[in-house]
Amino acid sequence: MGEEDCDKIEVSIMKHQRSWYLWLSKRDHLPRKLKQVLRVSNDIVMTEEWSSVTLNADIPDTLFTWKPPDGWIEWKKPPIEAGLLKPGTEAPDFDLASAEGKRIKLSDYRGRVVWFYVWRAG
């Protein structure tokens, strides 16, 4: 990494679906570069590099302040009730891909109880 002599290590999880590659300075053992790879349908690669690493430095409070830009309006999360259907209202139809790669439409289950469970991996 530049003029820094580094060791490179790899940390992988989920059977190599997510990997971190770290370049650690041999002088102070602090990171100088991080490359993250998320292997999904298209690999997502993120890289960060640090050229100036300082230990135990005083950091002025001004670096931790934020001023909103002109015209900025604070957004407030609406109450959960605002997003719920009223009792007796028909649910809007939608379709999703199943785990088997087929399409599933909500309207195919009209009149039946549907448990909709959303999960994410990776």
Q: How far apart are CA 107 and CA 92, in angstroms?
A: 9
E-strand spans in the chain? 6-13, 18-25, 31-38, 44-49, 95-97, 103-105
What pLDDT score was predicted for residue 79? 93
Predicted pLDDT of residue 122:
52
Q: Is 1 helix (H, G, I), strand (E, B) or coil?
A: coil
Q: Which residues of 70-98 are buried (b: 16+ CB within 10 A; e: fewer)?
A: eeeeeeeeeeeeeeeeeeeeeeeeeeeee
Integer Cα distance of 93 and 104 in angstroms:
11
pLDDT digits (tens, 9 = 90+) for 29-70: 999 999 999 998 889 999 999 887 888 889 888 888 888 999
Residue 121 pLDDT exceeds 70? no
